[in-house]
Each structure stands twice: as structure tokens, then as C-alpha cells.
């Protein structure tokens, strides 16, 4: 029996056809694992934002506002710059540590400079009208860093004030707190915190390191001689983060400076 040429061609070619289907996810299990991991991460991320938002809302309910009555020096831990959006305006918000270790907030309506973390700013009283206090509220924000949100929870008092000046510590250079004390490179301390004390008479001073919750984590006494005294404080055992150094002579607080442990 003779087959028609066309029929013969179809029979031959049909035997060479390969079933071309897209590979299933079972063929590449890592695709399934990656997708599951991605979806799980989204769930965790959404839960983080929800939990952090609720935490910040709860903490801000405990904020109380008042006028600042005296000049205060503040070591800046957080700075949210003033801005306007649509019909709303928001003042500068500073959160920082006082020389006594208290974490407070400052709202300022006029400062337009640049402030970096760990800078020392001088805050003075300012005239805030009732209307300004009503409409210039600190902007609400939730940070992707949980410790920043925790910082908002440490604040109990917000003061209406004015930034008079600020002293940058953003450069890696000695920071002179007064004529007598220099703290070297406070932005990046690895093992030893280097301090130079220049005194006019022999004295005994306490060098106290405190965390941002006001707890003393290290305290060392040094006998200072007339002239320059170079002191190395071993902070290698401290965890990474922001700390405050206080230098106390007798019962009087003489100096305070924040530094960052790397």
C-alpha cells in the first residue's frame, strides 16, 4: 500500500514532536522557597510597622508640653527638621539628653541650620503664642529602626524653645567642652575613650559613663595633677550605642559629653 506523500510527512514529523511545557515550580523548589520567604518577610514587615506605630502612639500620649524657663544644653539624639505640607506646618523636633542625663524633647519654630547626632545645642526660652502651640505640633513618625521609636518612648516632657547655637561633633577631631576638658573623637569610640583634662590645681575627679536610660555603666576616679592629664577610659566591654560621659569634681557636675561606642 502506498501512502500519500503528505500523509507520510505528517507521520514522520509527528514522531519528532516534543511535548514543550513550562517547568513547574516542583522542578525548581528554590523558587517556591524564595517566594514563601518573601511573603513571610512581608508579613513580618507589616507586623513590625503595625506594632511600632501602636507603640509610638501609646508613648506620645504621655508627652506633656511646657515652656522652657532656663537655658539648656542638649546633646542631640534625634532631629526631625521643620517642614510644611499642604495646609499643615510642623516645627523642628529635637530629642536629646541634658547634662543630668534626662531625655527631653524641644520644639523650635525658626531654626534652619544643620544638626547631626551627638551635637551639643543651646536652647533658650522663646515666645510661643497660644495659636502657635495649637497648630505647630511635632510631626508623627515611625522609624524603621526600633531603637529610634524607643527613644520617643523615653521622652516625657516637650519644651517650647529656641535653638541659640550648636556645636558640631560630626567631624573626627577633638571636641573642647571648656577650657579644661577635651574629648577626642566622640563619634567613633572602639576600645578607649580618650579625654584630656587641663587643671589649675590638684584635684580628684570621677569619670562616669551612663547609658541613655540614665544608668551608670562605668565609674572611674582619677587624681589630676596641675597641667594636662591624659586619661584613657576602657569602654571595650560596652555594647554598641550612645553613652554620656560625666566628669564630676566633688559633688558638682562639671562636664558632660555624649559619645558613640562602635
- Residue 47 is predicted with a pLDDT of 84
Using CA atoms of 101, 95, 119, 143 in order, give the dihedral in degrees to the nearest 10.
120
Mean pLDDT, each 10-residue run in order, the chain (262 residues): 50 48 49 60 77 91 94 88 81 90 92 77 90 90 85 94 65 46 81 86 85 82 87 92 80 68 86
Q: Where are the domains of the chain?
A: 60-167, 175-261
What CATH number was assigned to the domain covering residues 175-261? 2.60.40.1930
- CB-CB contact of 92 with 111 (8 Å): yes
- Residue 169 is predicted with a pLDDT of 43
- Residue 30 is predicted with a pLDDT of 47
- CB-CB contact of 106 with 157 (8 Å): no
- Residue 172 is predicted with a pLDDT of 40
Amino acid at each position: 500500500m502506498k501512502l500519500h506523500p503528505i500523509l507520510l510527512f505528517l507521520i514522520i514529523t509527528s514522531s519528532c514532536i516534543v511535548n514543550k511545557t513550562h517547568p513547574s515550580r516542583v522542578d525548581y523548589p528554590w523558587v517556591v522557597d524564595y517566594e514563601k520567604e518573601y511573603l513571610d518577610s512581608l508579613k513580618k514587615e507589616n507586623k513590625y510597622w503595625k506594632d511600632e506605630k501602636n507603640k509610638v502612639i501609646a508613648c506620645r500620649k504621655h508627652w506633656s508640653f511646657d515652656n522652657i524657663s532656663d537655658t539648656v544644653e542638649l546633646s542631640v539624639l534625634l532631629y526631625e527638621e521643620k517642614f510644611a505640607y499642604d495646609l499643615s506646618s510642623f516645627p523642628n523636633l529635637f530629642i536629646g539628653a541634658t547634662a543630668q542625663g534626662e531625655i527631653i524633647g524641644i520644639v523650635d519654630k525658626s531654626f534652619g541650620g544643620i544638626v547631626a547626632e551627638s551635637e551639643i545645642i543651646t536652647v533658650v526660652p522663646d515666645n510661643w503664642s497660644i495659636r502657635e502651640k495649637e497648630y505647630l505640633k511635632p510631626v508623627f513618625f515611625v522609624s524603621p529602626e526600633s531603637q529610634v521609636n524607643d527613644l520617643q518612648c523615653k521622652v516625657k516632657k516637650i519644651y517650647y524653645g529656641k535653638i541659640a547655637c550648636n556645636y558640631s561633633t560630626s567631624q573626627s577631631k577633638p571636641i573642647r567642652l571648656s577650657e579644661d576638658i577635651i574629648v577626642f573623637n566622640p563619634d567613633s569610640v572602639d576600645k578607649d575613650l580618650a579625654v584630656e583634662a587641663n587643671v589649675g590645681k590638684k584635684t580628684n575627679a570621677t569619670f562616669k559613663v551612663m547609658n541613655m536610660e540614665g544608668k551608670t555603666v562605668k565609674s572611674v576616679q582619677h587624681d589630676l595633677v596641675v597641667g594636662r592629664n591624659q586619661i584613657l577610659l576602657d569602654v571595650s566591654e560596652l555594647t554598641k550605642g550612645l553613652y554620656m560621659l560625666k566628669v564630676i569634681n566633688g559633688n558638682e557636675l562639671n562636664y558632660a559629653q555624649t559619645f558613640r561606642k562602635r
